[in-house]
Chain A
Amino acid sequence: MKSLLPLVSIVIGTLAYGIWNKARSGRIKLRPNSTLVHVIREKWSVSLGETATMVQFSSVFCATCRATRTLLEDIAQSTSGVVHLDIDAENYLDLVRELDIRSTPTTLFLNHFGVEAGRAVGVPKRDQVLKVLNTL
């Protein structure tokens, strides 16, 4: 039998990571002065929302993407001027790299110019989404 220390370290480290990940998941990070804003309307021949557009990047093996889509679709339907788009990240890898999207779901919140105001990794909370949409 080996020493228990490596095992205990792994367990504690994993629990710490799990707690940290749960805490930051779904938080909407705003980038008001970010140099990473992308004017997305030039690239896409689809109309953006008058107020805001929520662009969700999803992938196949992503359990939480479904919950995110349900939530954001519901918000888009009940809020005027807000559009929700759900795209398969695998089909848009150039965009994924350019926008530095690393995991799914990642949802970009765009203003009516198609400029990114912020993004959320993981399932966002409804009240936070509404708060962000109100500022756009």
Chain B
Amino acid sequence: MRDVKIIDARGPRFGAFITAPVLAAIFITGSVPLLLWQTIVFLIGATLGPSKSPYAYIYRKLIRPRLKGEGPTEDSRPPQFAQAVGALFSIVALVGVSLGVDLIVSVAIGFALAASLLQGIFSYCLGCELYLLLVRATSRSRKRSSVDTPYFLPSL
């Protein structure tokens, strides 16, 4: 059973506060270097964990020392999932750039922007809403269960 990594819950929220304006800037200016930068940030957060992200570094060095008291903590996996979703959207946007299709870029960045706004302002849990839907859609298990099979319910 792998150890769950606990992080300061305010960190990812701060990260979303930085990410949103960056994405808005990408949306308006269409700047590819900025898009590349944000894609890398997302990928770092998705693969190495949200605390390894450059924005988390800024949080630790500049913001947290100024905050009073211990903030709420959380499991690192939900924000990591959000970073992975962000990475996916940015990669789609990069594909749009290379194909020269502006619409793909706008839609992808639009979704990423919406997600980071929700996380930053409302602490919205993307994994809570999306992950199960994804698993449901991609899993190949039978549609209707047999009543004969008893369900044993261990706790998480």
A1 touches B29 (CB 8 A): yes
- Please, which residues of chain A bring their CB within 8 A of the CB of B127? 59-63
- Please, which residues of chain A bring their CB within 8 A of the CB of B129? 102-103
| B63 CB, nearest partner CB in chain A, Å | 20
Residue of chain A at shortest CB distance from B122: A18
- A18-B29 in contact given A92-B151, A95-B145, A104-B131 (Cβ < 8 Å): no
CA distance A45 to B148 in the complex (A): 11
- A97-B136 in contact given A18-B117, A59-B131 (Cβ < 8 Å): yes
Residue of chain A at shortest CB distance from B146: A94
A14 touches B128 (CB 8 A): no
| B12 CB, nearest partner CB in chain A, Å | 9
- A103-B122 in contact given A42-B147, A87-B153 (Cβ < 8 Å): no
B128 touches A95 (CB 8 A): no
- Please, which residues of chain B bring their CB within 8 A of the CB of A61? 77-78, 80-81, 127-128, 131
- A46-B153 in contact given A97-B136, A103-B128 (Cβ < 8 Å): yes
CA distance A96 to B141 in the complex (A): 11
| A54 CB, nearest partner CB in chain B, Å | 12
Q: Which of B136, B142, B150 contacts A96 (CB 8 A)?
A: B136
| B89 CB, nearest partner CB in chain A, Å | 13
Return 24 A-B CB contacts under 8 Å, by A number: A2-B28, A6-B27, A6-B106, A10-B114, A11-B113, A14-B117, A14-B118, A17-B114, A43-B145, A44-B153, A46-B152, A59-B132, A60-B131, A61-B81, A61-B128, A89-B132, A90-B132, A93-B136, A94-B141, A95-B151, A101-B132, A103-B132, A104-B128, A104-B132
5 interchain residue pairs of minimum CB distance: A61-B127, A94-B145, A61-B81, A63-B78, A45-B150
Interface residues of B (CB under 8 A from A): 9, 24, 27-30, 74-75, 77-81, 106, 110, 113-114, 117-118, 121-122, 124-125, 127-129, 131-133, 135-136, 139, 141-145, 147, 149-156
Interface residues of A (CB under 8 A from B): 1-2, 4, 6-7, 10-11, 13-15, 17-19, 21-22, 42-46, 57-66, 69, 85-90, 92-98, 101-105, 122
